[in-house]
Structure 1
Amino acid sequence: MQLRLSICISTLNRAAFIGETLDTIVAQLRDDIELLVVDGASKDNTAEIVERYATADSRVRYIRLPINSGVDQDYDIAVSHARGEYCWLMTDDDLLKPGAIDRVMVMLDGNVELVVVNTEVRTVDFGGILSSALVATDRNLEYAPEDADRLFVDTALALSFIGCVVIKRNFWLARDRVAYYGSLFIHVGVIFQSQTPCTRVIAEPLITIRYGNAMWTPRGFEIWMFKWPSLVWSFDSVSTMAKACISAREPWRQLRKLWLYRSIGGYALGEYDRYLAECPMPGYKRLISRAIAMVPPGLANAMSSLYCRLFARHARMNIYDLSRSPYASSISRAVARSAGY
């Protein structure tokens, strides 16, 4: 008999976090659900930790790959090995809220192809709330294939977090996945590459995200200035207006974004040389872009934090990023404390 749901986790070197994640999942498993962990050749003791769960519970399966192929391919491998009608693409360091699985299962009636699970975002120690919900809605939502623009505008930013995706396995396997290997957002490519799926959004946040703990955090400039916008603007299934609501086509042209990345330590001369030096831009913008890369990061951090304190108290994730930067100033730490984290 086919299982109803496979919870699929792709992991790499997360021994310090994955046990806490698995605890919140295993406690909610039912006989029609499996938990599948695909390990992309971890070099820490992730295998030892996950194998303990697999030994104790037959509903938990562990697959260790001989080499690391990247997060996109590892999730694709997980879905290919899954036995469930639906696959929940869960992360390896975030937490399910009590009752989350039962809440999702109610939505899986066979007609829906995608369920978007709303999430809250907390600080890395879960002590402070950065966002109470990534999808801003107080009621469950539904989208037909002809609602692609509305689905994209309402959910694309939330969907940048893979853990909110519960997708019908045969829908996933029928789409092009290889084209999105290396994008870091294979799930977004699967969803929006052509006609979008019948979708439901669960309004209630059922996952707690540990913000700032992603394996890709050190690559933030490359990802959010180039990879993410390139993906967003590649989709023919949504309009130009919808895409513009989610990301500028070339956000690296926005000097304020360069300043923010300088403030958090993500943009310096190395990034300028690697990503911007050959990009076409007016001479004055090239000069300013390079100059920003040379501003003392501690000064940039202090000025950005003061700006947030005076004019952008709502920018909670930016405030938190500034306070956790290697160049965090006394101002940034004070602003973060006043925000509650």
Structure 2
Amino acid sequence: MTLISFVLPAYRVQGYLRECLDSILAQPFGDLEVIGVDDCSPDSSGEILAEYAARDPRVKLVSLDENVGLGGARNIGLDHASGEYVWFVDSDDWLEPDCLPAVVARLRESTPDVLIVDHVRAYLDTAVIGSAMSEVFPDGPGTVVSDLASRPELIDLLHTAWNKLVRREFLVHLGLRFGAGWYEDVSFTYPVLVAAERITVLDRVCVHYRQRRSGAITRTKGDRHFEVFPHWHRVFELLDEWAPRTDSVRPLLFRRMIWHYLTVLGNGDRVPSEMRAAFFAQIVEDYRRWLPPGGYPVPGGPEGVKHRLVAAGRWRTFSALRVVQRGRGRLRGGAAAVKRRAVPAVRRSARTGRDLTMREYYRAQLRMPMDESLALYAAYWYRGYACNPAAIYEKARELAPHIRGVWVVRRDRVASLPPGTDYVVAGTPAYFRALARAKWLINNVNFPDFVEKRPGSIHIQTHHGTPVKVMGLDQQRYPIGAVGMDFEKLLRRIDRWDFSISSNTFSTQMWERAYPAEYETLETGYPRNDRLATATARDAAQARARIGLGPEERVVLYAPTHREHLPGYRPPFEPERFVDALGPNARLLMRSHYFHDRDPGAAIAAGDRVLDVSGHPSVEDLYLAADVLVTDYSSAMFDYGTLDRPIVIYAPDWDAYRLSRGVYFDVTAEPPGAVAATFPDLLDLFRTGAADNEAAAKARSQFRRRFCELDDGRAAERVVRRALLGESG
């Protein structure tokens, strides 16, 4: 029999599900199964579960035709489980690496009905906060096996299902199921603890409890928080059924119930202000209904005052006490804010007079009417006319001619703009005026931190690549590649987004995790690839002619990515040796990353058969001209994949790159074509024809199915119709 069945209900967790699954399947213990329940999720959670089930026999997919909620999905997962123990893990959390051997050892040595494991709360800034384990057991829980009556302090551990492994036969015999609605853990956990004869605690962190910015019920206001009451009612109904053996724990469970109710009511992100009086009234009703005959141990301090106010039904006094406590909190917070403002004040005084004047001008323009016909475009930190914003701009001129498009560019890039393009130069009054008054702000990176999201404006984040390396908040785990990043400011920037453009389902999943905010994802494909998707042989020939390439030449484009963690890095690549290996009729195009325009020493040594195309204004021209792309971890592979031409991954520093910079998937294990780890290997791929043999073509086909399916030539149209014209569907 399998030892542990993990039950993972999945609903709107596409950004986190892979991490959860990986954390389980990578454990150094194999006697497990994962029951993944797709609770009719509208995102790609079901597809992710199917993907893992196809490649790992330990993963079993259960797909539901209708959404049944977390409790119902857990029950269905339990019905499919075959393990000796069941672990209901939430699919947006993850397991601590290498924790499972300790869990298994405790299960085998103590054969409990319930094993409780420790956890930490994991926050967006990578901070972690420990559980109440050390407070409940100051000297540690030890290895004691007992029932709840002998160890009632177990009641004060977090009442979730995901920090407990439960013996499946015990659970089935008990006949206990998860209830419907929010707070379903309550009516599961406490009856399980009350009924169990053998409970033990493992003093080891096993679960990282993710604290999400959005999507969690603890951060969702509404009347659904009233659903906590029937779950506690069920607990006390079972206590009545199981009396008198439950009499000793009833007072402590009553105290825990009132604590829980007050916690929900006291959280400003849960119960709306207009519902608070009704919520308090229900607490009073439950207090009087379920109060143990002999009373209960009322806590001391402010918490005890709240209990006594509930007992007396004193809502007005309770509400006034909360107002006083919040006022004290604001005073403390205000004093801290004054201290925090001291440093920025010094920095402000050091700004040039022009900077201060322009910021004041910008703020003044924010008070002016918004220009309902103005769309402001930018790309690559104002480097010029490029990428997804350029494709959207062109399609908007066709479909929405009433919207005036204006580009922001650096002064040294004005000459690179297409003739007739309306523009403003960064840093000028016209620039600040456009920033303040434009209805639409469209960029493939973020606009500066000082930019405000004024009501009614629409910010469109197009991004500029399918991510191989980790991005956004995920970079906090790889500080070497995130030097100088301010993640608090990043959160404020992404909160301005109304739309996030995604090139494929994989990107959607990664953006959701890396950039957690309330924007709408437009999974449209990348507008910049429309030109590639619709290109003809004539388009390719014209692109070659613009670069100066002959129609019979074999053209290879080499386009490596930038390595933020290795300034000045140059891959081990010898252009002349490489072009010799390509044959006498070959030309090599070499293009540095756009970051390198800041580095005067980044110029590529070119020759008769080697062209430095770093300054070519259109990377799409280069893609169309090239017969083969050689790259490493650049998003160029995803764009070029649209053309269905050979791609070679040259990854000489893969191990170092993924460990220091962090990656979302292994391009050497799931490549778009052939892979070379050394320069001699790269030469051999081309000398032997392996760069485009049957195996390489098969890999490219699989890669295209995964990443390029949306590149049909209409991505820009989809973006314009939804984000600029407001069309739905």
TM score, norm. by length of structure 1? 0.72
SS in 2 for 1:10: strand
Quote the residue 1:272 is aligned against. Answer: 277
- In the alignment, is residue 226 of structure 1 matched against residue 232 of structure 2? no
SS in 1 for 2:112: coil
SS in 2 for 1:28: coil
User: What's the RMSD between the two structures over aligned residues?
Assistant: 4.0
Contact 1:97/1:206 (<8 A) preserved? yes
Quote the residue 1:148 is aligned against. Answer: 148
* Deviation at residue 96 of structure 1 after TM alignment: 1.0
Quote the residue 1:319 is aligned against. Answer: none
Describe the superposition over 1:38-81 as per-residue Cα deviations: whole angstroms up to 9, x where unpaired.
12211111112222221221111121211222222221211110
Contact 2:178/2:188 (<8 A) preserved? no
Partner of residue 316 from structure 2, selected from 280, 287, 306: 287
Quote the residue 1:303 is aligned against. Answer: 328
Q: Distance in 2 between matches of 1:15 and 1:102?
A: 28
* Deviation at residue 138 of structure 1 after TM alignment: 2.6
- In the alignment, is residue 73 of structure 1 matched against residue 99 of structure 2? no
Contact 1:119/1:132 (<8 A) preserved? no
Contact 1:116/1:165 (<8 A) preserved? yes
Quote the residue 1:216 is aligned against. Answer: 217
Quote the residue 1:116 is aligned against. Answer: 116
Q: Distance in 2 between matches of 1:72 and 1:97?
A: 24
Quote the residue 1:168 is aligned against. Answer: 167
* Deviation at residue 108 of structure 1 after TM alignment: 2.5
Describe the superposition over 1:222-243 as per-residue Cα deviations: whole angstroms up to 9, x where unpaired.
3697356545545345445664
**What amino acid sits opposite 2:225 in the alignment?**
E
* Deviation at residue 253 of structure 1 after TM alignment: 8.8
Quote the residue 1:86 is aligned against. Answer: 85
* Deviation at residue 304 of structure 1 after TM alignment: 3.3
Quick one: structure 1 residues 332 and 112, their matched pair in 2 at CA, closer, same or farther if it must change by over 3 Å?
Answer: farther
* Deviation at residue 171 of structure 1 after TM alignment: 0.8
Contact 2:225/2:270 (<8 A) preserved? no
**What amino acid sits opposite 1:22 in the alignment?**
L
Quick one: structure 1 residues 249 and 20, their matched pair in 2 at CA, closer, same or farther if it must change by over 3 Å?
Answer: closer
Q: Which moved more, 1:226-235 or 1:6-15?
A: 226-235
* Deviation at residue 34 of structure 1 after TM alignment: 0.9
Contact 2:4/2:84 (<8 A) preserved? yes
SS in 1 for 2:314: helix
Of structures 1 and 2, the one scoring higher in RCO (CA 8 A, sep 6+) is 1
* Deviation at residue 129 of structure 1 after TM alignment: 2.3
- In the alignment, is residue 247 of structure 1 matched against residue 262 of structure 2? no
* Deviation at residue 122 of structure 1 after TM alignment: 2.9
Unaligned runs of at least 5 residues, structure 1: 310-328, 336-340
Contact 1:121/1:133 (<8 A) preserved? no
Quick one: structure 1 residues 171 and 219, their matched pair in 2 at CA, closer, same or farther if it must change by over 3 Å?
Answer: farther
Q: Distance in 2 between matches of 1:42 and 1:225?
A: 24
Contact 1:172/1:190 (<8 A) preserved? no
Q: Distance in 2 between matches of 1:265 and 1:334?
A: 29
Quick one: structure 1 residues 223 and 330, their matched pair in 2 at CA, closer, same or farther if it must change by over 3 Å?
Answer: farther
Within a 5 Å distance, the mapping from 1:100-115 to structure 2 comes to 100-109=99-108, 111-115=111-115
Q: Distance in 1 between matches of 2:102 and 2:260?
A: 40
Describe the superposition over 1:14-46 as per-residue Cα deviations: whole angstroms up to 9, x where unpaired.
112121111211111644211111122111111
* Deviation at residue 133 of structure 1 after TM alignment: 4.1
Q: Distance in 2 between matches of 1:259 and 1:187?
A: 22
Quote the residue 2:62 is aligned against. Answer: 63
Quick one: structure 1 residues 95 and 267, their matched pair in 2 at CA, closer, same or farther if it must change by over 3 Å?
Answer: same
State the identity as a percent: 18
Unaligned runs of at least 5 residues, structure 2: 286-309, 340-487, 489-729
Quick one: structure 1 residues 304 and 330, their matched pair in 2 at CA, closer, same or farther if it must change by over 3 Å?
Answer: closer
Aligned residues: 304
SS in 2 for 1:247: helix
- In the alignment, is residue 44 of structure 1 matched against residue 43 of structure 2? yes
SS in 2 for 1:99: coil
Q: Distance in 2 between matches of 1:271 and 1:222?
A: 11
Quote the residue 2:266 is aligned against. Answer: 260
Quick one: structure 1 residues 24 and 74, their matched pair in 2 at CA, closer, same or farther if it must change by over 3 Å?
Answer: same
Q: Distance in 2 between matches of 1:278 and 1:131?
A: 26
Quick one: structure 1 residues 266 and 82, their matched pair in 2 at CA, closer, same or farther if it must change by over 3 Å?
Answer: same
Quote the residue 1:22 is aligned against. Answer: 21
Q: Distance in 2 between matches of 1:143 and 1:219?
A: 40
Contact 2:148/2:249 (<8 A) preserved? no
Quote the residue 2:197 is aligned against. Answer: 197
* Deviation at residue 278 of structure 1 after TM alignment: 9.8
* Deviation at residue 174 of structure 1 after TM alignment: 0.9
Q: Distance in 2 between matches of 1:208 and 1:332?
A: 30
**What amino acid sits opposite 1:41 in the alignment?**
C
* Deviation at residue 164 of structure 1 after TM alignment: 1.2
Q: Distance in 2 between matches of 1:126 and 1:35?
A: 27
SS in 2 for 1:16: coil
Contact 1:115/1:199 (<8 A) preserved? yes
Larger Rg: 2
Q: Distance in 2 between matches of 1:22 and 1:333?
A: 41
Quote the residue 1:138 is aligned against. Answer: 140
* Deviation at residue 84 of structure 1 after TM alignment: 1.1
Quote the residue 1:129 is aligned against. Answer: 129
SS in 2 for 1:142: coil
Q: Distance in 2 between matches of 1:334 and 1:232?
A: 48
**What amino acid sits opposite 1:107 in the alignment?**
R
